[in-house]
């Protein structure tokens, strides 16, 4: 094998690859003799650098494919990297390329006995994890409603490298005790979860130096994608494999570190030079995606962050259109502005599929969905369900359908035991049987069975309370739809159950339900609302290139569009209230940077002077990020008429 650090004598195929690189990309590819951090700005070709570097190493004989380890964060990224490699070199057999979890699972298969499990272990997913925790909670007489928050806590501990035996763990806390029982339980099942894949390999490396030395000797080059998204366990694992940084190349962007809420530690990339004092940093700053004004606005905005390594992205293309900033009177007007601007862009031959609405939180999609439906604009919610297709929304809508029409057996079936009130399969079987026998609705069947002794006392009480709730709301003709829905949410315990979960998912569901309450104010009665829902759910399906994309900012990373709309730029909305309380504004600014840099040609930012959030009108200040945008690269739209204006 050749020694790394020189590019003399490269073969013709390698020369061809390098000819497609700019100067900084070239430097990143051919630097092999020291720890390397490639700071890759948005749209600067990081995947091209990674794949070319691997092919360059192989084609020039610096390492065999089996001596290269390349880790990614998603199976999609791993597949894309492998496909690109095949286009550069056909000599990739044996390369260790995959996600952190996939690579660790492969290592663990060889050494499972060293941590007391068999090589035939199974990997459980998040649903299995939650089921096991619920079983444990039932055994120790803790309400199962706490299962999601405990599962989340255990996952965060594992992200930080904290095992159930770790001295840093508060073993006397409720979560600590459940963590210990949970680990014992899955071990007895000869199973591991995703967090264990890393923790077990770290444990093997710590307790068996010979095994660690084997893998240190095996991998001559280690390449890491999206290094800014690594958590502490992943960081520990990488440092153990390459303590001095020999052959390590990490590619990432500290300005796009937006996942701290799921365990990512931006400090991992920020301290790269401290970890490896002789390290080299190559900055990829030439952007191949966006026009000049878009990049100028994004670069100036992110420069306000103090905790960053620093770079300025630029482009050789023309400046293009300035970033347009629109002030609107309220959320309704903002949605109208977006819809009408999209229609104008479409007339300029911008396909709907090349347009995206980027928002901070999922609940914001409702007003845009309503407006797009009114305008006949096709859309999809990327990475999630449309507003009225979300589980929690469908649950409460089913309650409203049942209140409107008790013969709606599908609605009865959906909510009679939601939230769980002990009306299980046995009781439902009785309802079905009587419904078929007498050709009546399930609701009527339940009413008749309630008068008999066919149900257990606890089930009878629960069913009676449920039916009384429905009947009482049917009789209250004076109540507004919002008041009916609020009564359902409170009296059924739906809200309190979500509050007790204390997870990001449950918080998102609460935000969606509060947005539903706002939506209900636009309808005079249940009949009108239910007709509206039927039309929404039955809306026609379009191919993906014919639909506008509605996406949260966190889900937009890695995507690009001809035109993007960044909506809801108000204090408390973006930056989000939770981030303000946690003093995590820098990550919110990184999120804004990610959002702006998704745009190729057009970027619009909008904010509302008044917005109804969680059923109350708020007059939030414009987002601080607006004042941090450079005047040279933005243009304030002077006038957009108010409704009826």
DSSP string, 606-621: EEEEEEEETTEEE-PP
Please list, in sequence order, all residues whose beta carbon lies within 8 angstroms of the beta carbon of residue 160, skipping any fewer than 6 positions away. 231, 232, 233, 263
Average pLDDT over residues 2-22: 60
Instruction: Determine the average pLDDT of the residues in 182-206.
Output: 93
Mean pLDDT of the chain: 90
pLDDT band at 5 (very low <50, low <70, confident <90, very high): very low
Mean pLDDT across 308-316: 94
Specify the pLDDT at position 37: 98
CA distance 392 to 421: 17
Output the pLDDT for position 614. 64
When pLDDT is averaged across residues 219-245 and rounded to a whole number, the result is 96
Question: If pLDDT is split at 50, 70 and 90, which confidence band does 3 have?
Answer: very low
6: pLDDT strictly greater than 50: no
Write out pLDDT tens, residues 142-162.
888 888 889 999 999 999 999
Least confident of 41-45, 324-328, 329-333, 404-408: 404-408
Average pLDDT of the segment spanning 279-308: 97
Together in a domain, 506 and 485:
yes
* 47 is known as an active-site residue: yes
pLDDT for the residue 584: 93
Q: Give me the pLDDT at residue 8, please.
A: 35
Is residue 275 located within the same domain as residue 394?
no
Q: 180 is written with which tokens?
A: 């210990």
Looking at the fold, whether 523 and 604 belong to one and the same domain comes out as no
311 is annotated as an active-site residue: no
Q: What integer is the mean pLDDT of 115-119? A: 91
d(CA 444, CA 435): 8
Q: Which pLDDT band, with edges at 50, 70 and 90, does 643 fall under?
A: very low
Give the model's pLDDT for residue 17.
Answer: 83
Does the annotation count 476 as an active-site position? no
Residue 356 phi/psi, 5-degree rounding, is -135, 145
- Check pLDDT > 90 for residue 613: no
**Same domain as 569, residue 592:** yes
pLDDT value for 489: 94
Q: How confident is the model at residue 34 (pLDDT cuts 50, 70, 90)?
A: very high
The domain in which residue 424 lies consists of 389-534
Radius of gyration of the chain (CA): 28
311, 322, 589, 598: which is the annotated catalytic residue? 598
Co-location of 623 and 564 in the same domain: yes
Percent of the chain with pLDDT over 70: 94
| Nearest residue to 307 via CA among 227, 228, 225 | 228
Quick one: what percent of the chain has pLDDT higher than 90? Answer: 69
- The model's confidence at residue 410, banded by pLDDT at 50, 70 and 90, is confident
Residue in the structure block whose two tokens are 């829905």:
485
Say how far apart CA 97 and CA 88 lie, in whole Å.
16
Q: How far apart are CA 258 and CA 86, in angstroms?
A: 31
pLDDT-wise least confident of 88-92, 288-292, 380-384: 380-384
Tell whether the model's pLDDT for residue 644 goes beyond 50: no
Active site residue 370: no
**Domain identity same for 505 and 407:** yes
pLDDT at residue 122, as a whole number: 87
Question: Which pLDDT score, from 0 to 100, does residue 10 have?
Answer: 44
If phi > 0 it is left, if psi is from -120 to 50 it is alpha, else beta; for residue 592 that is alpha
Instruction: Answer for the pair 162, 200: CB distance below 8 angstroms, yes or no.
Output: no
Phi and psi angles of residue 5, each rounded to the nearest 5 degrees, phi first: 110, -5
- 437 contacts: CB under 8 Å, gap ≥ 6: none
Partners of residue 611 on adjacent β-strands: 618
Scanning the structure block, which residue is given the tokens 């000819």?
19
Strands (E), 340-445: 355-359, 379-381
Indicate whether 628 pLDDT > 80. yes
Lowest mean pLDDT among 47-61, 187-201, 520-534: 520-534
The band of 13, judged by pLDDT with boundaries at 50, 70 and 90, is: low
Which domain-ending residue is among 264, 284, 304? Answer: 284
Question: Looking at per-residue confidence, does 487 or 363 come out higher?
Answer: 487
* Active-site entry in 33, 34, 47, 502: 47
Separation of alpha carbons 43 and 594, rounded Å: 11
Report if pTM > 0.95: no
Q: Does residue 113 form part of some domain?
A: no
CATH of the domain at 432: 1.10.486.10
Catalytic residue among 196, 226, 392, 571: 226
Looking at the fold, whether 460 and 578 belong to one and the same domain comes out as no
24, 46, 509, 586: which one is catalytic? 46
CA distance 22 to 313: 14
Whether 500 is in a domain gets the answer yes
Query: Is position 6 within any domain?
Result: no
What are the residues whose beta carbons fall under 8 Å from the beta carbon of 74, sequence distance 6 or more? 99
pLDDT for position 615? 67
Q: Whole-angstrom Cα distance, residue 287 to residue 316?
A: 8
Looking at the domain assignment, is residue 641 inside a domain? no
Kindly state the tokens that stand for 173. 């806390």
Residue matched to tokens 């636009």: 522
In the predicted model, is pLDDT for residue 11 greater than 70?
Answer: no
- pLDDT (mean) for 46-64: 95
Max CA distance (Å), the chain: 91
User: Residue written as tokens 């060293």?
Assistant: 114
Q: Which of 24, 159, 196, 225 is catalytic?
A: 225
Place of tokens 């709730």: 469
Whether the pLDDT of residue 138 is over 80: the answer is yes
Residue 384 in any domain: the answer is no
* 436 and 359 in a common domain: no
- Looking at the structure, do residues 328 and 369 belong to the same domain, yes or no? yes
122 is catalytic: no
Among 136, 164, 188, give the residue marking a domain's end: 188
- 273 among known catalytic residues: no
Domain identity same for 396 and 479: yes
Q: CATH code at 588?
A: 3.40.50.300
Q: Considering its fold, how many domains does the chain have in total? A: 4
Domain-located, residue 644: no
Residue 116 lies in a domain: no
For 63-103, the pLDDT digits (tens) are 999 999 999 988 888 889 999 998 898 888 899 999 999 99
Residue 357 phi, psi dihedral angles, 5° rounding? -105, 120
What pLDDT, on the 0 to 100 scale, is given for residue 121? 87
pLDDT digits (tens, 9 = 90+) for 340-352: 999 999 999 999 9
pLDDT of residue 272 exceeding 60 = yes
Q: What is the pLDDT of residue 57?
A: 96
The pLDDT value recorded for residue 15 is 61
Contacts of 287 (CB under 8 A, 6+ apart): 41, 42, 43, 44, 295, 313, 314, 315, 597
Residue 610 lies in a domain: yes
Average pLDDT estimate for 603-626: 89
Question: Which is it for strands 599-613 and 616-618: parallel, antiparallel or unpaired?
Answer: antiparallel
Asked which of 499, 534, 569 is the last residue of a domain, the reply is 534
Same domain as 509, residue 419:
yes
Report which of residues 542 and 25 the model is more confident about. 25
Averaged pLDDT, 264-282? 95
Instruction: Clarify whether residues 246 and 321 are in a common domain.
Output: no
Catalytic residue from among 67, 163, 183, 256: 256
Q: 578-604 pLDDT, tens per residue?
A: 899 999 999 999 999 999 999 999 999
């Amino acid at each position: 094998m050749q020694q790394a650090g020189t590019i003399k004598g490269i073969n013709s195929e390698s020369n061809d690859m390098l000819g497609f690189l700019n100067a900084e990309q070239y430097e990143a590819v051919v630097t092999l003799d020291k720890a390397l951090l490639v700071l890759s700005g948005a749209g600067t070709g990081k995947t091209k650098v990674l794949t070319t570097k691997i092919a360059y190493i192989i084609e020039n004989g610096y390492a065999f494919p089996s001596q290269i380890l390349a880790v990614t964060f998603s199976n999609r990224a791993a597949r894309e990297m492998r496909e690109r490699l095949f286009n550069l070199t056909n000599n990739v057999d044996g390369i260790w390329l995959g996600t952190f979890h996939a690579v660790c699972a492969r290592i663990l298969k060889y050494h499972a006995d060293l941590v007391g499990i068999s090589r035939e272990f199974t990997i459980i997913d998040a649903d299995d994890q939650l089921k096991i925790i619920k079983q444990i909670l039932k055994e120790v007489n803790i309400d199962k409603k706490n299962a999601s928050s405990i599962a989340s806590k255990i996952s965060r501990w594992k992200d930080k490298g904290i095992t159930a035996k770790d001295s840093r763990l508060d073993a006397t806390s409720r979560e600590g005790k459940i963590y210990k029982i949970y680990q014992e339980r899955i071990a007895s099942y000869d199973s591991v979860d995703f967090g264990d894949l890393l923790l077990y390999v770290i444990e093997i490396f710590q307790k068996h130096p010979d095994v660690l030395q084997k893998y240190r000797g095996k991998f001559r080059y280690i390449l890491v994608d999206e290094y800014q998204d690594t958590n502490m366990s992943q960081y520990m694992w990488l440092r153990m494999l390459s303590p001095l940084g020999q052959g390590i190349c990490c590619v990432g962007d500290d300005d796009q570190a937006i996942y701290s809420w799921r365990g990512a530690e931006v400090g991992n990339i920020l301290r790269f030079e401290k970890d490896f004092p002789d390290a080299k940093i190559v900055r990829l700053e030439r952007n191949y995606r966006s026009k000049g004004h878009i990049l100028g606005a994004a670069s100036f905005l992110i420069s306000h962050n103090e905790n960053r390594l620093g770079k300025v992205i630029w482009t050789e293309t023309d400046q293009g259109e300035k970033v347009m900033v629109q002030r609107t009177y309220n959320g309704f007007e903002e949605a109208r502005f977006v819809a009408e601007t999209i229609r104008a862009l479409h007339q300029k031959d911008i396909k709907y599929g090349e347009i995206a609405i980027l928002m901070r939180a999922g609940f914001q999609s409702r007003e845009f969905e309503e407006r797009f439906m009114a305008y006949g604009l096709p859309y999809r919610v990327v990475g999630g369900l449309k507003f009225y297709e979300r589980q929690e929304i469908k649950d409460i809508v089913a309650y409203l359908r049942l209140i409107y029409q008790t013969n709606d057996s599908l609605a009865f079936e959906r909510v009679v035991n939601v939230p769980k009130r002990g009306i299980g399969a046995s009781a439902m079987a009785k309802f079905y049987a009587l419904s078929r026998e007498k050709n009546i609705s399930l609701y009527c069947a339940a009413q008749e069975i309630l008068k008999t002794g066919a149900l257990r006392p606890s089930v009878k009480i629960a069913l009676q309370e449920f039916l009384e709730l429905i009947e009482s709301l049917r009789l209250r003709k004076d109540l507004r739809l919002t008041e009916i829905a609020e009564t359902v949410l409170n009296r059924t315990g739906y809200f309190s159950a979500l509050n007790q979960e204390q997870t990001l998912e449950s918080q998102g569901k609460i935000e969606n339900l509060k947005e539903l309450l706002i939506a209900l104010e636009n309808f005079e009665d249940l009949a009108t609302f239910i007709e509206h829902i039927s039309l929404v759910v039955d809306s026609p399906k379009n191919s993906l290139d014919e639909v506008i994309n509605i996406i949260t900012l966190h889900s937009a990373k890695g995507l690009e569009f001809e035109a993007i709309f960044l909506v809801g730029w108000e204090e408390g909305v973006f930056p989000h209230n939770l981030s303000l309380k946690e003093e995590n504004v820098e990550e919110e600014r990184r999120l804004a940077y990610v959002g702006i840099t998704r745009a190729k040609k057009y970027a619009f930012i909008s904010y509302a002077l008044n917005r109804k959030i969680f059923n109350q009108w708020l007059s939030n200040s414009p987002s601080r990020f607006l004042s941090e945008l450079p005047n040279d690269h933005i243009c304030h739209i002077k006038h957009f008429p108010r409704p009826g204006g």
